[in-house]
Amino acid sequence: MYKVFVNDKPLFLTNQIQKETDFQLFLLDSVDIKQLIIKIFKNKVDKAFLYHPDEKEILKKLKSKIPVEKAGGGLVYNEKNEVLFIYRNKKWDLPKGGIEKGEEIEDTALREVEEETGVKGLKITRKLSKTYHIFKRNGRYKLKITHWFEMKTAFSGKMVAQLDEGIEKVEWIKQQDIPTCLTNSYENIKLLFEKETV
């Protein structure tokens, strides 16, 4: 099962049919994906399941219905085991950004973290899960697939928020303060931390 967020509301891609309770079930083959997304954005649907019998085909099917944008990002730890957060659009987030032509996704993640935060000396230590969310840009809905990587750095210099990307602050957050930040973050980001602490 995949969890795709639309305006921080879950859209589950599944090959299991469940009895409806607090959600709506749609057939992925026949759903008007744009209309469903609009309903979610307008808070007319809180939670939806898109059903397709073949789990291997589910994501491919969704990608055929909506343009895809790939991004890379980092869950970055320093030597004190603090995590690098950015503050943008009145929410705490992790640094990430879109892939450039001919770039490997790992290079995208490293470049974007450095550009958005000014943190250097980054090393990828392992690949994390991907997150999925649907956003609207220039009047079109797109599916953003973000590839996440755990990174480590010994950087202790001055951090610089990328203001032209709307980033107001860049901070190292202590482990005990992360849950507080996550109360004002995105569902995808929370999901990333849930998976890391399981």
Which of 77, 110, 80, 81 is CA-nearest to residue 96? Answer: 110
% residues pLDDT > 70 (the chain): 95
Which pLDDT score is estimated for 17? 79
Query: Among 14-18, 74-78, 116-120, 169-173, whose mean pLDDT is lowest?
Result: 14-18
Say yes or no to pLDDT of 152 above 60.
Answer: yes
Cβ neighbour number for residue 82 with a 10 Å cutoff: 16
How sure is the predictor about 7, in pLDDT bands with cuts at 50, 70 and 90? confident
Say yes or no to pLDDT of 195 above 80.
Answer: no
Kindly report the backbone phi and psi dihedral angles of residue 6, in degrees, each rounded to the nearest multiple of 5, phi listed first.
Answer: -120, 110
Sheet strands (E) in the chain: 2-6, 9-14, 24-27, 48-51, 68-77, 83-88, 91-93, 96-98, 123-137, 140-152, 167-173
Query: Among 8-22, 58-72, 91-105, 121-135, whose mean pLDDT is lowest?
Result: 8-22
Residues 150, 73: Cα–Cα separation, whole Å = 9
Is the Cα torsion angle 107, 112, 113, 118 positive or negative in sign?
positive
**Over residues 63-73, mean pLDDT:** 96
Kindly report the backbone phi and psi dihedral angles of residue 91, in degrees, each rounded to the nearest multiple of 5, phi listed first.
Answer: -140, 155
Which domains can be identified in the chain, with CATH numbers? 2-65 (no CATH), 68-197 (3.90.79.10)
**Over residues 110-132, mean pLDDT:** 97
Which pLDDT score is estimated for 160? 96
Residue that wins the pLDDT comparison between 24 and 118: 118
% residues pLDDT > 90 (the chain): 85
Show the DSSP H helices in 9-146 as ranges: 33-41, 55-65, 105-117
Which pLDDT score is estimated for 194? 85
Residues 66, 85: Cα–Cα separation, whole Å = 30
Residue pair 188/6 in contact (Cβ under 8 Å)? The answer is: no
| Three-state secondary structure call for residue 43 | coil
Tens digit of each residue's pLDDT (9 = 90 or more) over 8-58: 999 999 998 776 666 788 999 999 999 999 999 999 998 899 999 998 899
Which pLDDT score is estimated for 196? 61
Say yes or no to pLDDT of 164 above 60.
Answer: yes
Tokens of 129: 């899960």
Which pLDDT score is estimated for 198? 41
Residues 48, 158: Cα–Cα separation, whole Å = 44
